[in-house]
């Protein structure tokens, strides 16, 4: 499928589609393959009798050469080539969008209410990062994939959930001035803001009352760093899953987003294929700056230590994502590891946030039986930056066998 830019923000909606979908995909969500393409308009050939309509309440209209020419007139060009976004068709039997609450009644595997799914609640941080203010049911799609050997809509198989259409991101506008200036800061109908305005007579200044956006980059509207507050970001109207995001959900997603290095972000910005190279640099800079604010907020309360694993049977190792992403100066990170049965262990730092802790055996020959609670060890890891430690629970398998990681807890203070 092909999608064109509008005349108001040339190159931005198509760029937002490609970059936004790539970011969701890199964060382990399912998305269609999106790319920017430039081609000769003469390559497009229309089948006779084509009809279209913009919505269910509108009458069908003829899509002829005149209609195509109107679409092409809004496309940016490079010489004789027009710019569009190309989207690969999603495989399988299409079932329609998913909801951000409840479950699919036609999918027996969908048993957890969507507003309680960590990946959907935590996705609020991705939406806030890229200013995806239109992250709603309609911009999703479920597809039934039959197992190999079955017919296309046959069984057995499974449902795959896709994120669609991030063209309303990176500062892309709604199209109505009074709404556009509040996107990212207030719902279209925001009863909380309305109540405050009534009580204060509208005197306090709102974020959208001051100049937003950076001079020279008005294309991106208010997609900037200085006015972005992760906790306060809002889409165009409440999302049931986003509204239920907990501190743990946010910290979990922040540890995922911490993997987006500056090099990766610049590569993502380059996918936009902007004609003006300064727009690519601006986009990369804003994405880096907004991500830094998210990491600062969500990697400094609950422990940011992740990627836990047992190495060489007797060492617990992991990555402190706050140190890896330089949320604080390295001098602030002072690691302390304590065991539940008393005593402490030195913490080896390997650079880049990597840490390891030695685990002395408690189950020697002739020691406690296999099902004894004495074989369990709890390790508390404090990095000196997060307000709360990480608790790792391990099971001692005995001499020559080492430890097994049994569980992880990130308590609040």
Q: What is the pLDDT along the chain (413 residues), one digit of tens a residue?
A: 888 888 888 999 999 999 999 999 999 999 999 999 999 998 988 888 888 877 667 788 888 888 888 888 888 899 999 999 999 999 999 999 999 999 999 898 999 999 999 999 999 999 999 999 999 999 999 999 999 888 878 888 999 999 999 999 999 988 777 777 888 888 888 788 778 888 887 777 777 776 666 788 888 988 999 889 999 999 998 999 999 999 999 999 999 999 999 999 999 999 999 999 999 999 999 999 999 999 999 999 999 999 999 998 889 999 999 999 999 998 999 999 999 877 888 899 998 999 999 987 655 555 555 656 577 889 999 999 999 999 999 988 877 788 899 999 999 87
The bridge status of strand 315-320 relative to strand 305-311 is antiparallel
Residue 362 confidence (pLDDT): 57
| Ordered domains of the chain (ranges, CATH) | 305-409 (2.60.40)
Report the C-alpha dihedral over residues 18, 289, 297, 405, rounded to 10 degrees.
60
Residue 399 · residue 359 · CB < 8 Å = no
Residue 204 confidence (pLDDT): 77
Burial of 131 (C-beta count, 10 Å sphere; 0-12/13-18/19+): buried
- Of the candidates 322, 132, 128, the residue with the CA atom closest to the CA atom of residue 229: 128
Per-residue model confidence as pLDDT tens digits over 176-206:
777 778 888 888 887 887 788 888 877 777 7
Cis, bond preceding 156 (omega within 30 deg of 0): yes
> Distance of alpha carbon 110 from its chain centroid, rounded?
21
Residue 364 confidence (pLDDT): 57
Residue 315 · residue 309 · CB < 8 Å = no
Residue 385 confidence (pLDDT): 94
**Alpha carbon distance 364, 374 (integer Å):** 11
Residue 174 confidence (pLDDT): 80
**Alpha carbon distance 145, 156 (integer Å):** 9
**Alpha carbon distance 318, 119 (integer Å):** 22
- Of the candidates 166, 234, 146, 136, the residue with the CA atom closest to the CA atom of residue 25: 166
Residue 314 confidence (pLDDT): 84
* Residues whose CB is less than 8 angstroms from the CB of residue 7 and which lie 6 or more positions away in sequence, other chains included: 74
Residue 405 confidence (pLDDT): 93
Residue 401 confidence (pLDDT): 80
Phi and psi, residue 141, nearest 5°: -160, 135
Partners of residue 77 on adjacent β-strands: 82
pTM: 0.91
**Alpha carbon distance 162, 152 (integer Å):** 18
């Amino acid at each position: 499928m092909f999608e064109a830019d509008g005349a108001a923000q040339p190159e931005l909606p198509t760029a937002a589609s490609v970059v936004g979908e790539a970011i969701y995909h890199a964060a382990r969500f399912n998305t269609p393959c999106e790319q920017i393409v430039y081609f000769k308009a003469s390559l497009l050939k229309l089948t006779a009798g084509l009809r279209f309509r913009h919505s269910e309440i509108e009458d069908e209209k003829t899509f002829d050469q005149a209609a195509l020419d109107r679409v092409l007139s809004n496309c940016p060009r490079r010489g004789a080539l027009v710019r569009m976004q190309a989207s690969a068709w999603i495989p399988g039997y299409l079932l329609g969008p998913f909801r951000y609450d409840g479950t699919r009644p036609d999918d027996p595997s969908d048993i957890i209410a969507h507003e309680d799914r960590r990946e959907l609640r935590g996705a609020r941080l991705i939406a806030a990062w890229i200013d995806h203010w239109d992250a709603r049911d309609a911009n999703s799609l479920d597809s039934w994939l039959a197992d190999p050997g079955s017919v296309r809509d046959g069984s057995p198989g499974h449902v795959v959930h896709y994120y669609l259409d991030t063209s309303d991101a990176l500062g892309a506008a709604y199209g109505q001035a009074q709404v556009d200036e509040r996107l990212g800061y207030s719902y279209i109908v925001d009863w909380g803001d309305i109540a405050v305005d009534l009580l204060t007579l509208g005197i306090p200044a709102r974020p959208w009352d001051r100049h937003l956006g950076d001079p020279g980059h008005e294309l991106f509207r208010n997609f900037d760093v200085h006015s972005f507050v992760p906790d306060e970001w809002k889409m165009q109207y409440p999302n049931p899953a986003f509204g239920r995001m907990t501190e743990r959900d946010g910290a979990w997603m922040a540890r995922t987003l911490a993997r987006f290095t500056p090099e990766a972000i610049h590569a993502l910005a380059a996918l936009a294929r902007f004609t003006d190279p300064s727009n690519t640099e601006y986009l990369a800079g804003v994405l880096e700056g907004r991500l830094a604010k998210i990491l600062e907020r969500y990697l400094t309360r609950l422990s940011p230590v992740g990627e836990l694993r047992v190495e060489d049977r007797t060492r617990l190792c992991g990555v402190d994502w706050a140190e890896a992403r330089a949320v604080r100066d390295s001098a602030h990170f002072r690691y302390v590891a304590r065991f539940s049965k008393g005593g402490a262990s030195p913490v080896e730092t390997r650079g880049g946030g990597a840490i390891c802790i030695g685990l002395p055996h408690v189950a020697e020959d002739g020691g406690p039986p296999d099902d004894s609670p004495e074989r369990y060890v709890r390790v508390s890891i404090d990095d000196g930056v997060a307000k709360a430690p990480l608790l790792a629970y391990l099971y001692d398998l005995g001499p020559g066998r080492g430890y097994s990681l049994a569980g992880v807890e990130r308590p609040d203070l």
